[in-house]
Structure 1
Amino acid sequence: MPPVFFEIPLNADLETVKRQAGSRKFDARLVRGVSRRCRYGFPQVTVCDPLRKGHPFPTVFWLSCPCLSRKVDRIESAGGVRELGRRIERDRTRDWRIFNLQYVLFRVFLLGPERSREIMEEDPPAWLSLTATGVGGIRSGGDVSVKCLHLQAASMIGMGWHPGEDWLCERIGVQECDDPLEWPCTTG
């Protein structure tokens, strides 16, 4: 089940997330919470608002940790998206559908009843996008289609499971850095 609880971000968390993003385009105003922190207390995965400027944002979970992001960069550049997709398609198609359905439910949970009702009535195409697409905006219910390993890793951490979790964890390895001073998490 998706986590119902996450930490409300402090101003220091938002500043850290901005530093962690570096040159990557990310709007820290979308951060609704911190899903997981590293042992040094810095955000690793944030929970994002499902809407950006009134339009669906493609992910609920953002991999903010630069160390994890770098590890995932390497896996992705070595063909990891295709490899993970084949692995899930071969062994875990049913779990993939369940995972994406839980993702949609968590997205709607974040909106809450009032915002959900408002979107349903005022912007039916946006509501359809929010409720018919899973991780990364992939259409739910169809064939396995994996998009962006950063989204997959962040969603695995944020949701607490993933159909390709064994594959992801094996390739990512240790999910923390040895020294946060080597990364833009701290100003020190």
Structure 2
Amino acid sequence: MTVEQADLDAVAEQLGRTPRGILEVVSRCPSGHPNVVKTEPRLDDGTPFPTMFYLTCDRLAAEIGTLEASGLMKEMSDRLAEDAALSEAYHEAHVAYLAEREAIGHVPEIAGISAGGMPTRVKCLHVLIGHSLARGAGANPLGDEALELLGDWWAGNACGPVTA
């Protein structure tokens, strides 16, 4: 896989630092900017990196931070304990995440560990939304829910759709 230099430059600007371990851009906002990248499970310096779908868009990250501050993660975690169907779907998201990351490379230090609290709790909506954006609706039920709550997060800023 090759990542275009323009995408690496855009991600560096979004993050405010040089990006590491990027394999590909897996989701873009309506204007075409990267908003989620797929990363190596082990960075160049040897650090294990369990977050395969890394959200890069600072605007989107800020919107997600507002959701996190609302107490939504605790509410979702509580629902996992009470709703068997939701718990099963979330577990399936965890299993699929692990299988996809393992196909990139085996990293013993993070074997069995996905991201975002999967499969038993919710600890990071950024990761869950990144998973949903990368793999589409149905990939992660709680990522899908949180993404829906965000609505048109790109509206009113430079990430709006490009019009001719």
Shift of 1:175: 4.3
Structure 1: which 5+ residue stretches go unaligned?
Answer: 1-6, 117-125, 183-188
2:89 aligned residue (90, 95, 104): 95
Instruction: Give 1:1-188 correspondences, 5 Å limit.
Output: 8-22=2-16, 27-52=18-43, 53-91=45-83, 92-111=86-105, 116=106, 126-127=107-108, 129-136=109-116, 138=117, 144-160=120-136, 161-180=139-158
Shift of 1:29: 2.3
User: How far, CA to CA, are the matches of 1:167 and 1:86 in structure 2?
Assistant: 15
User: How far, CA to CA, are the matches of 2:22 and 2:95 in structure 1?
Assistant: 22
TM-score normalized by structure 2? Answer: 0.82
Shift of 1:83: 1.8
Q: What is the one-letter code of the residue matched to 1:107?
A: R
- Higher RCO, 1 vs 2 (CA within 8 Å, ≥6 residues apart): 1
Residues 87-122 of structure 1 show CA distances to partners (whole Å, capped at 9, x for unaligned) of 3333311111111011000111122xxxx3xxxxxx
Q: What is the one-letter code of the residue matched to 2:150?
A: I
Q: What is the one-letter code of the residue matched to 1:12?
A: A
Q: Relative to structure 1, is the Cα distance of residues 19 and 107 closer, same or farther in structure 2, using a 3 angstrom cutoff?
A: same
User: How far, CA to CA, are the matches of 1:54 and 1:181 in structure 2?
Assistant: 34
TM-score normalized by structure 1? Answer: 0.73
Structure 2: which 5+ residue stretches go unaligned?
Answer: none
Q: What is the one-letter code of the residue matched to 1:133?
A: I
SS in 1 for 2:60: helix
Q: How many residues align?
A: 155
Shift of 1:74: 0.3
SS in 1 for 2:20: helix
User: How far, CA to CA, are the matches of 2:118 and 2:157 in structure 1?
Assistant: 39
Residues 102-154 of structure 1 show CA distances to partners (whole Å, capped at 9, x for unaligned) of 1000111122xxxx3xxxxxxxxx41x43311124x475xxx12111111111
Shift of 1:21: 1.1
Shift of 1:165: 4.1
Q: Relative to structure 1, is the Cα distance of residues 175 and 139 closer, same or farther in structure 2, using a 3 angstrom cutoff?
A: closer
- Superposition CA RMSD, Å: 2.3
Q: What is the one-letter code of the residue matched to 1:156?
A: S
Q: Indicate the structure with greater helix content.
A: 1
